[in-house]
């Protein structure tokens, strides 16, 4: 009898622990200091892109963004400029559109390709159709930046999470350029002083469960 | 004589000006009144982070609902009528907090008027996001729509999501006894 109770209790605890861990990973995503997983997502040109494709990169500016959110649009030019400034220094931009197309038709692959062409994107613009990568990272809104430092092959440490700078409306009014400051620190072998800053954005359009 | 003439003309000018002023004011007041009678929509007021903190700390017998929205946010605008209904049916005290840029207050006002919102409405007068977002809730990443519920006993519940009507009613019902 005692044994049965022990076994049952043991099982319940195991199940509970597994469950808690599973939901934890889903809800919270990455914190600064965690290692981010690589992905294989389709680009607007039909090819698949992974972080592993960039053998000479020192890190990545992964940005969850979209065609439709006014905040994402306000930051679009600044995202293009981040890539122009930092891709050659080893930190390219990888843009990921997480929005469910049935909820937001203007975020379809075709519309993404149009937008990228019109604006002259110099970086991949990927779709996370399953939304698994978005959930693994813990992105909740567009735009939402994850700055990764490549410590070794397949070791991508999250160094900064959050906003691009402190002025969504006007690029020229920005007093603090969080992402640029963090990359500059990494490039000079230092730890970023600011590792997370929150900003307003549009909720990711999740698929119906 | 010359002096006297000058004074009269000054005096009559003064009377004329007063008359025009009073007339214009009456017209203005009447036209404002007629607009107000067409709609009872609220006038959006700017609110500081400190005043919002104080507002949130206020006690109520009912569930308090603080809905964070912006005129540019589609899902926010879609769910507004559900919140407005909670307020008009007196099942909760609803406050709409616009996160439009302070200089865009007219865009927010236009929406409040169009949607005939009678709940309290404010526009948060701050663009220091990283300062106020965690003050409202540590759980808030900054995505909108987002809603803070406060139960009658003062417990806070934060949701960073868009609501369907039935779901919203359910949350308020559940919290009424908490």
- B41-99 pLDDT tens trace: 889 999 999 999 999 999 999 999 999 999 999 999 999 999 999 999 999 999 999 99
pLDDT reading at A11 higher than 70 = no
Q: Which chain B residues have a beta carbon less than 8 Å from that of A168?
A: 127
Question: Cβ A141–B75 below 8 Å, yes or no?
Answer: no
Among A96-100, B19-23, B104-108, the minimum mean pLDDT is found in B19-23
For B113-129, the DSSP string reads HHTT--SEEEEE----H
Give chain A's domain count. 2
A8 and A46 housed in the same domain: no
Q: Who contacts A138 (Cβ-Cβ below 8 Å, separation ≥6)?
A: A27, A28, A29, A30
Give chain B's domain count. 2
A122 and A38 housed in the same domain: yes
Which two tokens mark B176? 């009424």
Question: Cβ B134–A198 below 8 Å, yes or no?
Answer: yes
Q: Provide the 3-class DSSP secondary structure of residue A96.
A: strand
Q: What ipTM was reported for this prediction?
A: 0.79
pLDDT of the residue at A22: 40
B12 and B66 housed in the same domain: no
Question: Cβ A204–B140 below 8 Å, yes or no?
Answer: no
B56 and B2 housed in the same domain: no
Confidence of residue A201 (pLDDT cuts 50, 70, 90): very high
Which residue segment(s) compose the domain that A14 sits in? 1-29
pLDDT reading at A205 higher than 90 = yes
B142 and B66 housed in the same domain: yes
| Nearest CB to A203 within list B127, B134, B162 | B162
Which residue segment(s) compose the domain that B129 sits in? 45-176
Query: Is A109 inside a domain boundary?
Result: yes
Q: How many residues are present in chain B?
A: 178
Give mean pLDDT, residues A105-117.
98
Which chain A residue shows the shortest CA-CA distance from B127? A167
A58 and A147 housed in the same domain: yes
Query: Is A89 inside a domain boundary?
Result: yes
Nearest to A65 by CA among A209, A205, A207: A205
Query: Is A152 inside a domain boundary?
Result: yes
pLDDT reading at A20 higher than 70 = no
B21 and B103 housed in the same domain: no
B96 and B163 housed in the same domain: yes
Residue holding tokens 């607009």?
Answer: B35
Which two tokens mark A118? 């019109």
What is the least distance, in Å, from the CA of A55 to any CA of chain B?
A: 32
Q: Which chain B residues have a beta carbon less than 8 Å from that of A166?
A: 127-130
B95 and B155 housed in the same domain: yes
Please answer whether residues A66 and A72 qualify as being in contact, where contact means their C-beta atoms are separated by less than 8 angstroms.
Answer: yes
A98 and A75 housed in the same domain: yes
A69 and A90 housed in the same domain: yes
Question: Cβ B140–A198 below 8 Å, yes or no?
Answer: yes
Mean pLDDT of chain B: 86
Confidence of residue A24 (pLDDT cuts 50, 70, 90): very low
Which two tokens mark A10? 């043991």
B104 and B162 housed in the same domain: yes
Q: What is the pLDDT of residues A31-55, one digit of tens each?
A: 999 999 999 999 999 999 999 999 9
Burial string for B47-85 (b: 16+ CB within 10 Å, else e) reads beeeebeeebeeeeebbbbbbbbbbbbbbbbebbebbbb
Cβ of A141 under 8 Å from any chain B Cβ? yes
| Distance in angstroms (rounded) separating the CA atoms of residues A103 and A131 | 13
Query: Is A56 inside a domain boundary?
Result: yes
Q: Which chain B residues touch A if contact means CB-CB below 8 Å?
A: 70, 72-73, 75, 99, 101, 127-130, 133-134, 140-146, 160-162
| Nearest CB to A199 within list B75, B142, B145 | B142
Cβ of A175 under 8 Å from any chain B Cβ? no
Checking phi first, is residue A162 left (phi over 0); if not, alpha (psi -120 to 50) or beta?
left
| Distance in angstroms (rounded) separating the CA atoms of residues B76 and B115 | 12
A7 and A42 housed in the same domain: no
pLDDT of the residue at A28: 76
A93 and A16 housed in the same domain: no
CATH label of the domain that carries residue B92: 3.40.30.10
Confidence of residue A197 (pLDDT cuts 50, 70, 90): very high
What is the least distance, in Å, from the CA of B16 to any CA of chain A?
A: 48
Q: What is the pLDDT of residues B2-12, one digit of tens each?
A: 444 554 455 55
B99 and B169 housed in the same domain: yes
A108 and A19 housed in the same domain: no
| Distance in angstroms (rounded) separating the CA atoms of residues A40 and A52 | 9
A199 and A99 housed in the same domain: yes
Query: Is A148 inside a domain boundary?
Result: yes
CATH label of the domain that carries residue A113: 3.40.30.10
B119 and B165 housed in the same domain: yes
pLDDT reading at A117 higher than 90 = yes
């Amino acid at each position: 009898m005692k044994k049965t109770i022990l076994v049952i209790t043991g099982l319940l605890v195991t199940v509970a622990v597994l469950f808690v861990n599973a939901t934890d990973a889903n809800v919270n995503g990455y914190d600064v200091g965690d290692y981010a997983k690589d992905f294989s997502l389709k680009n607007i040109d039909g090819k698949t892109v992974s972080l592993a494709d960039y053998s000479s990169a020192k890190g990545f500016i992964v940005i969850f963004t979209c065609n439709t959110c006014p905040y994402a649009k306000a930051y679009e030019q600044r995202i293009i400029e981040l890539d122009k400034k930092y891709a050659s220094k080893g930190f390219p931009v990888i843009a990921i559109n997480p929005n469910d197309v049935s909820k937001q038709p203007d975020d379809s692959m075709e519309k993404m390709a149009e937008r990228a062409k019109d604006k002259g994107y110099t970086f991949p613009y990927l779709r996370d159709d399953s939304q698994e990568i978005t959930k693994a990272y813990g992105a909740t809104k567009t735009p939402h930046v994850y700055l990764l430092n490549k410590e070794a092959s397949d070791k991508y440490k999250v160094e900064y999470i959050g906003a691009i700078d402190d002025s969504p409306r006007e690029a020229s009014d920005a007093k603090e350029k969080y992402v640029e400051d963090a990359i500059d620190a990494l490039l000079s072998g230092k730890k970023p002083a600011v590792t997370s800053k929150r900003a307003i954005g549009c909720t990711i359009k999740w698929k119906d469960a | 004589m010359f002096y006297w003439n000058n004074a009269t003309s000054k005096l009559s000018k003064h009377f004329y000006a007063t008359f025009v002023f009073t007339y214009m004011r009456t017209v203005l007041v009447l036209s404002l009144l007629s607009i107000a009678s067409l709609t009872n929509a609220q006038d959006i007021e700017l609110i500081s982070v400190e005043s919002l903190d104080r507002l949130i700390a206020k006690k109520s017998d009912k569930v308090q609902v603080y809905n964070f929205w912006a005129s540019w946010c589609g899902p926010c605008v879609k769910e507004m009528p559900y919140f407005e209904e909670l307020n008009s049916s007196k099942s909760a005290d609803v406050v709409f907090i616009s996160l439009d840029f302070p200089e865009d207050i007219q865009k927010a006002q236009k929406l409040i008027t169009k949607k005939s919102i009678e709940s309290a409405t404010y526009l948060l007068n701050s663009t220091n996001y990283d300062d106020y977002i965690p003050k409202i809730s540590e759980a808030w990443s900054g995505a909108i729509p987002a809603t803070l519920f406060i139960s009658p006993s003062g417990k806070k519940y934060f949701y960073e999501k868009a609501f369907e009507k039935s779901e919203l009613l359910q949350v308020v019902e559940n919290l009424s006894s908490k």
